[in-house]
Structure 1
Amino acid sequence: MFKLYLDPGHGGNDTGASGHGLLEKEINLDIALRIRDILNNEYQQVEVNMSRTTDTSVSLRQRTNQANAWDADYFLSIHCNAFNGSTRGYEDFIYSGLSNSSSTAQYQNVLHEAIIAVNELTDRGQKKANFHVLRESTMPALLTENGFIDHSGDAAKLADASYRQKVARGHVNGLERAFNLEKSASGTRLYKVIAGSFLERANAEKRVAYLDTHGISSFITEVSISGNTRYRVQAGAYESKSNAENRVAEVKRAGITDAYIIEEGQGDSEVSGYNISGSVILSPEQMDQFVQKINPDAPSLGIYYLNFGTYYGLRGDVAFAQALHETDYFRFTGIVNESQNNFAGIGATGPGQPGANFATAEDGVLAHMQHLYAYASTQALPDNYRLVDPRFDLVQRGSATKWEALNGKWAVPGDQYGQLILGLYQDIINASIDQLEDILAQIKG
């Protein structure tokens, strides 16, 4: 196991250098989080600890004391430079008391070469200094200065997120070569623990800070879902699902009840392994308000998805997301038209086959839930409501207990059908969370 102590320089009241609208503390943290993300997601037998994961003040002594107590294998400190606005380029430092033949110097050679190979900056060379983090760390240590933030050219690069990702990749390339890190085997599935997903980065940062106060390290990653950027708070990535489940339990004990696991490579879906059976979580108002912001003419069907979902013991709120997927947010731009009240596309197989018709919207939702019940359960259909699903008996009973298992069954070929539904469901959750936070902010204000 390779243990990296990753140190984003400055933070909190100590902004570090500044220039061209950029603060060094923010650039340092962003690059460091990207380094950590790459290592967690792509490498095995690597553990990363960070001096800070949010904009907090951490003393130099705290940084080295923590790294030493943790018995890290390597200390990597991320910084940016500043001088007079005319100086530019990359340089890195090891402790001035070390010889050029030391292992620390050898590691510096490897990382310097790897970083310079990708960072598109002038090479200012490998240097030595009496910096605290280099002197007081008991393990080999390197401090990198990733461009001059007060130089217009370097600052323009640093302001670009894709460039910062490139810088992070250069650091990881160097670590891989210096310490013979092994990438996760092809096909190895990683289980990522997500402790929140937000429309606003500030809200994600608050979640990271909260977890940090409970001794749980986390970081923010960006993902595009349904064309919108989401800020995920990731609290670990594991090859073992049981380890990921233990981490989720730890996060939930800290009060984050909406933590969940995603499996690497699932596309846009953020929620994974959700059973079709289960309790409805979202309220009818949350469902209806979400779709009506996109389509003001959308019908209010949330109450039916709540009632029938509760009656059949199904996730009616996720079924609502499925209906949005099937009907293009109740705009009916496909082969099923609005008058059919067929919100699930039951029996719709292509041009000339628009599927079933239902007398009322309530019947349409009822048929939807009965069709899901056929897939999710082998039990007899409860008889408080008449059977209105015309294809109930055509379903292989119990053949899809989870949403992803509908892939290739409800929709053909539909390789990502369940994942797309779950991605939409996450959109509704995120919108509800943001709305609640706005309300709370107004109350506090």
Structure 2
Amino acid sequence: MKLYLDPGHGGTDSGATGNGLLEKNINLDIALRIRRLLLENYNKVEVLMSRTTDRTKSLSARTNEANNWGADYYLSIHCNAFNGSASGYEDYIHSSLPNSSDTANYQDIMHEEIMRVNRLSDRGQKKANFHVLRETTMSALLTENGFIDNRQDAALISDPSWRQDVAQGHVNGLARAFQLERKSEDPSGTLYKVIAGSFQSRDNAEERVAYLQSQGIDSFITTVTISGQLWYRVQAGAFSNRENAERRLDEVRDAGISDAFIVTDSNEDQEPSPGDTGYAILGETYLSPELMNQYVKTINPQAIEIASYYLTYGERYGIRGDVAFAQAMHETDFLRFTGVVQPEQNNFCGLGATGPNNPGASFQTAKEGVLAHIQHLYAYASTDSLPNSDPLVDPRYDLVTRGSATTWTALNGKWAVPGDNYGQMILNLYERMLDSSLEQLEGVMQEIKN
């Protein structure tokens, strides 16, 4: 598949502006992330970008280049603006196309996959006579990823981890629409993590993350205890393929980070730590309900407080209650319920929901809904009998192949279909929640010291 990837605007054309952000920069950042995810994870994919730096390029130059190259798909990345009053995500195909066209079918898929991860309100699938949609000879889609002049949207847009999620949503849509073939994983199950520095000071680790971001390299902080000493590691990617990890290592070193290295880590038969990608569903809960609820309310101040149920039932069933809570936030858009499941269903994990005509299971109380969620995870993660302490309230418990997914990433393609990166998205959200909680604790400790 040949993808022409077009970050809108650039150079003298800044695009929309607002809240200290320039659209041209956001578009480029998301597009670069899309290209990286595609090339690192899929076979037989070629990507040509209209620009990879901040430069001016006319619309006709972009479409002519895509047409002459013989692209299979044209994807234009944008953000929106409207007096600060509008918000949400929308996408466009050309106004002349019928809903039965291939382009419209691709739009259906792309819209669904992007909306799964972007935590924005849904403004719908639209049609317009935009140049890049009209003058291209292949199917084309233009995505508007939030309103840069809206305060709430801009808070998301300015977050690198959100832009990574949005890029992943675009990639998930492309993979599904064009039936892309994933690169084979290491048969040993080894995970190769690129560590771009290891520090005893969190401030130093945060400086490293900020520097890497300025170089276009996404990273985050994990913790590891060595000989009783806590270290803050800056992780710039985790890969099941050694070649991809080495490629990222070269990028990090080219950015001037000479102390970068690769660590290997098996997903099974090891003690998981909070920062490990793919770690087990069974295990201890690290975060308190107070910290979990507090994090969610930074995004949705009206969120109900259900974290205590995840701690209680997580401990009872031996499930990582804090990661299950992160899964619930992913499924419910931080308890805003912007999908087909409604708040009164108390269905926090999308049990049985398949579309607008089937919003899934309903439960009498929030507590019962959380119990059903934990029981469904238990069905995947364990072959043991259910504890006798609670009735079975999960209506789909017996439909699960017991023990078929012992790690969060093993839920890919099971809990969410096709969901190639479903587990990774849950863990990315959990990492953000963990980092936020660590910052809160550090702030409390500093107040105590003062």
Please give the TM-score of this superposition, normalised by the length of structure 2. Answer: 0.46
Structure with max Cα Rg: 1
